[in-house]
Structure 1
Amino acid sequence: MTSVAGVEGVRLHPEHGAASWRALGTYVDLRTEPSALAAAVELVSGVLDEVDAACSRFRDDSDLALVTASAGHPVLVSPVLVGAVRVALEAARETDGLVDPTLGAVLSGAGYDRTYALVPSEDPSPAALPTRRGSWRDVVVDDSTVTAPPGADLDLGATGKAFAADLAALAVVEELSVPVLVSVGGDVRVAAPDGHDVSRQPVRLGHSLADLEAGWDSLTVVVGAGGIATSSVSARRWRRGGRQWTHLVDPRTGGPVDGPWRTVTALGHTAVAANTASTASVVLGTAALPWLTARGVAARLVAHDGRVSTTLAWDAAETEESS
């Protein structure tokens, strides 16, 4: 088996039950039972295509784009966008707005208005930031519609990949009744059918995919059922009007995050829960460790100077350092 119909560029390793390809502007890794690999790849790819069609900020025909274009009015959308927005709003509530799904206008104004690969690394023109922003608290979602208030352009980048990983992993478990690991851009979900033992899976962590591919120092964490996610300011960086931006924005200031952490990795019961904690921590900066500790989150924080801090819950988890 060397390919799967309809999945472009997939790399299969049938002997290991593993596959990798690109989707949603990032990389996808899948592990499952070898006998179910082809079916799992096809299923996960289909789920990710649905997420892209519903949630992409860079497609004029996406459900999310239609919601933004119809600000103040309910828009009939797919169940996928309904689920994604509900997850994003829950993350906002849990973090008191530190993880904010309404920063689309800020990111677009700062230059991130297209797929990241097409964003110029240096643009001397000034950023066109909004003077007023709507609030995530005013986003309304029901079983079939989403309404975004004026000035609250939706961007699901903070939770979107994690939501996709959770959705895809659960689809494999439900449809194929096999255990699975799905990683979408480093947001990882491990799941298995009820009654199945979940073998602990090694997940290699780094500051960015480029660092991992270059062989830089990394950490391998062995994880069981649940999620793990890393938020980083090392990737998706550009300059606009002389100012350094990343894809992570501090909603309290409307500017790029400016804290001590280069990366934060967190564990959670889902990929979304893990990503919510890791993203909030990068935004919080020096206040992240007490925030994480108070919530019992297992997390590892790496500062810009390379110093590593961990929570007690992380120290209690099984990890294996490797270089």
Structure 2
Amino acid sequence: MTTASIALDHRGVSPDAHPGSKSATLGADSIAHRTPADSGQDARRRTGDDRTVATAASSFRALGTYVELRVAEVADSIDPTATARVEHLAREILAEVDATCSRFRVDSDLTRANRAAGTWVEVSPILVGMVQAALWAAGETDGLVDPCLGELLVAAGYDRTFAELQSTTEPTQLPAQRDRSAWRDLHVAPGRIRVPHGSALDLGAVGKGYAADLVALSIIERYAVPAVISVGGDVRVAEVPGIPMSWPVRIAPDLAALGDDAVAADIDLTTGAIATSSITARRWVRGGTQWHHVIDPRTARPTGGRWRSVTALAPSCAAANTYATAGLVLGEQAVPWFAAQGIPARLVGADGGIVTSPAWEFGVGERDTVMGGRAC
């Protein structure tokens, strides 16, 4: 399987692109609350040009998280075999992503490359593409989103899947010194990568988003049907030219907050992607210190608690994830950074207050009107 061409930069996003996101649910009759047995035809609606479409939904688990998929056809009813084929394709791609890019699998290409840090290692095209996306993320954020934080996360106890992770009183043995520019020595070539000596890759800042991008672009290439996919709440639209679609999405800092109208928002996603980075879900205690999975590479410690979550819009999910993670790392400086970069972003503070960037305020159609940086 080859990787698709994934647009990363936020520039060129249509001002009327409407996002939706993590945690995120798709539609008022959200498939996040369905079981796999509920999959199948569930709704009839209309395209942007008023043609009748049928939609079908399915949900399953992959990459250690939940996956939601909604497929549409311009018809009065949807072909269930078509939906099954699209879901099979999504499962196949996500399984390959897990097999090659997981930091927690001893047999993955990523694990092999980390073990052989300092030397070139032959890897799958998917991992090459994901590392390229991670390098773009590091360059775009001047190292705030750093793919070479694997050794810090392992030292902090995040050396297994989060479902297996346990809090412990064992002390955290962090490196005495760390080269913040190590990511600049991460090299990629066709079919191979070279991890910097003394470093280990963790691709969590782009991983699920990149996987969602691969699925969406593969659906378009293989079946040419409109669809939307959420991988752990990171949402990407599969757009088909000539069939304008609007996908209702509810965004919130985490799953527990989906029903909290004070911090959640309902948005229509028509193009591109939306992703949320949050510090509320993946947390653990080691050596008396509370950790979460978003590390500030400047301090080698978890990011501060200014923001509970940051949501960002971009043409690709990998880029949206990059911007959302950078927002958490930047803390108070995230607001002027998003404004200067022209990135649509929505930030939920630790106190529940909501701040939005100018690009979000004027380009995003929240159903609860956003004014003055606050949800009203």
The reply to whether TM is greater than 0.5 is yes
**Pairing partner for 1:127 from 143, 148, 172:** 172
**Does the Cα contact within 8 Å between 1:232 and 1:263 map onto a contact in 2?**
yes
Partner amino acid for 1:319?
E
TM-score by length of 1: 0.93
**Does the Cα contact within 8 Å between 2:118 and 2:198 map onto a contact in 1?**
no
**Pairing partner for 2:83 from 29, 37, 42:** 37
**Pairing partner for 2:63 from 3, 10, 24:** 24
Given the alignment of the two structures, is residue 321 of structure 1 paired with residue 368 of structure 2, yes or no?
Answer: yes
Partner amino acid for 2:39?
L
**Pairing partner for 1:106 from 152, 170, 192:** 152
| CA deviation after TM superposition for structure 1 residue 167, in Å | 0.5
Q: List per-residue Cα deviations over 1:125-153 (Å, max 9, x = no partner).
A: 11122234451110011111110012220
Find the counterpart in structure 1 of residue 8 from structure 2.
none
**Pairing partner for 1:250 from 285, 296, 299:** 296
In 2, distance between residues paired with 1:11 and 1:236? 28
Find the counterpart in structure 2 of residue 263 from structure 1.
309
Partner amino acid for 1:69?
R
**Does the Cα contact within 8 Å between 1:132 and 1:151 map onto a contact in 2?**
no
Equivalent runs, 1:1-323 vs 2, <5 Å: 11-15=38-42, 16-33=55-72, 34-35=78-79, 36-120=82-166, 122-134=167-179, 135-193=182-240, 195-212=241-258, 215-217=259-261, 218-316=264-362, 317-321=364-368
| CA deviation after TM superposition for structure 1 residue 57, in Å | 0.3
**Does the Cα contact within 8 Å between 2:230 and 2:236 map onto a contact in 1?**
yes
**Does the Cα contact within 8 Å between 1:71 and 1:150 map onto a contact in 2?**
yes
CA 1:181–1:98: 2 relative to 1, 3 Å: same
Find the counterpart in structure 2 of residue 3 from structure 1.
none
Higher RCO, 1 vs 2 (CA within 8 Å, ≥6 residues apart): 2
CA 1:210–1:109: 2 relative to 1, 3 Å: same
**Does the Cα contact within 8 Å between 1:300 and 1:314 map onto a contact in 2?**
yes
Match of 1:190, SS state, is: strand
Q: Which runs of 4+ in 1 moved over 3 A?
A: 8-11
**Does the Cα contact within 8 Å between 1:10 and 1:21 map onto a contact in 2?**
no
Find the counterpart in structure 2 of residue 5 from structure 1.
none
Match of 1:292, SS state, is: helix
| CA deviation after TM superposition for structure 1 residue 241, in Å | 0.8
| CA deviation after TM superposition for structure 1 residue 273, in Å | 1.5
| CA deviation after TM superposition for structure 1 residue 202, in Å | 1.3
Count of aligned positions: 312
In 2, distance between residues paired with 1:9 and 1:29? 10
| CA deviation after TM superposition for structure 1 residue 191, in Å | 2.0
| CA deviation after TM superposition for structure 1 residue 210, in Å | 3.3
Q: Give ranges in structure 2 of 5+ residues lacking alignment.
A: 1-34, 43-54, 73-77, 370-374
**Does the Cα contact within 8 Å between 2:306 and 2:350 map onto a contact in 1?**
yes
**Does the Cα contact within 8 Å between 1:259 and 1:284 map onto a contact in 2?**
no
| CA deviation after TM superposition for structure 1 residue 281, in Å | 0.5
Q: Give ranges in structure 1 of 5+ residues lacking alignment.
A: 1-7
In 1, distance between residues paired with 2:227 and 2:120? 36
Match of 2:368, SS state, is: strand
TM-score by length of 2: 0.80
| CA deviation after TM superposition for structure 1 residue 72, in Å | 0.6
Richer in helix (by share) = 1
CA 1:10–1:185: 2 relative to 1, 3 Å: farther
Partner amino acid for 2:138?
A
**Does the Cα contact within 8 Å between 1:133 and 1:152 map onto a contact in 2?**
no
